[in-house]
Amino acid sequence: MNFKTLLMGATCAVGLALSPLSALAQNAGGNLVYLVQPEPPSLASFLSTSGPIGLVAPKIYDGLFEYDNDLQIVPSLAESYEVSDDGKTITFTLREGVQWHDGAPFTSADVQFTVMEVLKQVHPRGPNSFREVTSIDTPDDYTAVFNLANPAPYMLRALSSYESPMVPKHLLEGTDLRASDLATNPVGTGPFTFVEWRKGQYVRLDRNENYWKPGEPLLERVVGRFIPDASTRTAALENGEVMYGAYGAIPNIDAVRLREQDGFSVTTDGYSMINPMALIEFNTTKPPFDNPAMRRAVSLVMDRQFLIDNIWFGYGKPATSALSSSFDKVGLYKAGLPNYPANGDLEAAIKQLDDAGILPDANGVRANVTLDLIPYGEDWRRAGEYMKQAMKPLGIEVELRYEDVPTWLNRIYAEYDFEMNVNFFYQLPDPVLGVHRHYGTDQIRQGTHFVNASRYSNPELDALLAAGAQEPDPIKRGEIYGEIQTILANDMPVANLFEMEFLTVYNDKLVNHATSALGAYGSFSEASITE
């Protein structure tokens, strides 16, 4: 007997005996299994804004607001709000009858504790979002009054369950926040309650029967699965074992294939809160990129559309300014700035260098540089290879460096031992939250990740950033940001490449999953599975 037939026979027998199991997989109404990639380090969304935490925690916690796809405010734990005429007092009216998953009532004391004692203290972005908040008054259980030192219009965009989750005072007060049991055993007010987290396998959340939104959530259970291999993630989605994958869980190369298949869809909705921007950071403190002409030349020579079409399969939009064009909706974006050609402009780039007196040597080389690449996957390596080629005709000889995450972070943000670095930043729903950290002198914070590693410092710009943060009038605010973008297009401490479009790939049986600006960082409260 041949071994192969024996093995085939055995697998056939086992397969036949067990195949009904897999057929049963998705029948029980409304159990959603979705991809969480990579596995989160914890579920403490009040301590960390790490991406994978955002994929799970907002199902468990609520924020004061949610935001629809046009970034308009939708009431959540706060039913309404009122801003005083001077912009320095904001009064939130809270929803009555909301319960924590352990049965305790949610009150204004929780809001006060969350913002003053948690988010302002230990959250990575909280100290910035709430920096103007001096105190919170709680005249009754369902009213929270925020007292601000200066108007902070951007704060109202930072109140989602992902960015500023409301956490239970009665479980956290007096404990060490960073060692809290809540990190692995979260208790919120959200549509799903935490059941179990098996490391390396899944995190399981079940329907919150006492959720405050009538009739929601629709799903019985939500299970986040961790599958390390990208091809297997795609196979699991194709096989119906998982129904949803966001933030690149399904690589673009597979997403464009699934897009053509029956039963699967691809969307770029659900990322408008995040505003991711691909870019190059320059070390402006040492040659050759201490010279703005060099930085402008690199920005000029990049064929942004080529990167998008060939490496990101057409998903993305060429950057045209320091701000994403999605800020056009709120009147902050300025169009028509120089030095951001969508298809690259080699002649203009060469002219920049010639005019600045940076001339080629006998071998045609103007500068030798090392390009660091963000170690978040193959796409970035391909991008680096393209950039190396693109800069060659300019006389810039590039060497690529690709390291693992801790080494790379240490090099860029602690040692400053780099010349140019490919990266991407979340610009978030307001420039104060996501963009200021890139350019302000006060954001040169050695050892802190994803801030001003270019060490660009310009007092004129600092003054404009400070003014922009406090200006309540939308028209004037737009003018201030227009000036900021003009300065940055000329000084170019960071060359924005393209506005990234992350993809969500999902099984068509899953409906209503992208109803908010938060997408995968939202709650799934309205989502359901249809047969």
Which residues within the stretch 121-140 sit at the binding site for other proteins (CB under 8 A)? 122, 124-125, 127
Per residue, what are the HEC states of 269-303? CCCCCCCEEEEEEECCCCCCCCCHHHHHHHHHHCC
Of 338 and 376, CB closest to other proteins? 376
* 47 lies in the site for other proteins, by CB under 8 A: yes
Q: Which of 155, 183, 187, 302 binds other proteins (CB under 8 A)?
A: 183
Shortest reach from residue 225's CB to other proteins, in Å? 6
Q: How far is Cα 103 from Cα 399, in angstroms, rounded to an integer?
A: 58
Specify the residue, 347 or 404, whose C-beta has the smaller distance to other proteins. Answer: 404
Q: Closer CB to other proteins, residue 26 or residue 525?
A: 26
| Residue 447 contacts other proteins per CB under 8 A | yes
CA distance 528 to 531: 10
Q: Is residue 228 part of the contact set for other proteins (CB under 8 A)?
A: yes
**Binding residue for other proteins, selected from 159, 187, 227, 489, defined by CB under 8 A:** 227
User: Of 5, 18, 209, 361, which one interacts with other proteins (CB under 8 A)?
Assistant: 18
Is residue 261 a contact residue for other proteins (CB under 8 A)?
no
Under the criterion CB under 8 A, does residue 286 sit at the interface with other proteins?
A: no
Binding to other proteins by residue 175, rule CB under 8 A? no
Contact 249, 35 (CB under 8 A): yes
Nearer to other proteins, 264 or 426 (CB): 426
The distance in angstroms from the start CA to the end CA of the chain is 45
278 is a site residue for other proteins (CB under 8 A): no
Give the dihedral sign, CA 507/512/514/519.
Answer: negative
State yes or no: residue 178 binds other proteins (CB under 8 A). Answer: yes
**Cα distance between residue 369 and residue 397, in whole Å:** 6
Q: Residue 195 or 365: which CB sits closer to other proteins?
A: 195
**Minimum CB separation from other proteins for residue 164, in Å?**
14
Among 225, 296, 438, 477, binds other proteins (CB under 8 A): 225
Whose CA is closest to 139, among 88, 89, 190, 99? 89
Q: Is 235 exposed, middle or buried (0-12, 13-18, 19+ CB in 10 A)?
A: middle
- Coil, helix or strand for 494? strand
Are 386 and 304 within 8 A, CB to CB?
no
User: Exposure string (b/e) for 16-44, b if CB count within 10 Å is 16 or more?
Assistant: eeeeeeeeeebeeebbbbbbbbebbebbb
In angstroms, give the least distance from the CB of 469 to other proteins.
Answer: 17
Question: Which helix (H) or strand (E) is 449 found in, with range?
Answer: none
- Please count the residues of this chain forming the interface with other proteins, following the rule CB under 8 A: 73
Q: Contact between 5 and other proteins (CB under 8 A)?
A: no
231 binds other proteins (CB under 8 A): yes
Residues present in the chain in total = 531
Beta bridge partners of 420: 282, 371
Stretch that binds other proteins, among 21-29, 60-68, 103-111, 154-162 (CB under 8 A): 21-29
Residue 436 binds other proteins (CB under 8 A):
no
> For 114, which DSSP code?
I
Which residues 403-422 are close enough to bind other proteins by CB under 8 A? Answer: 404-407, 409-410, 413-414
Distance CA(44)–CA(249), nearest Å, equals 21
Q: Is the dihedral of CA 467, 471, 477, 481 positive or negative?
A: positive
Residue 4 interacting with other proteins (CB under 8 A): yes
Residue 530 binds to other proteins (criterion: CB under 8 A): no
Report DSSP state, residue 519. Answer: G
Residue with tokens 């908040």: 133
> Of 84, 239, 261, 530, which one interacts with other proteins (CB under 8 A)?
239
Among 223, 294, 330, 527, binds other proteins (CB under 8 A): 223
- Build a one-symbol-per-residue string for 55-94: x at contacts with other proteins by CB under 8 A, - elsewhere: ----------------------------------------
**Do the bridges between strand 202-207 and strand 528-529 make them parallel or antiparallel, or are there none, so unpaired?**
unpaired
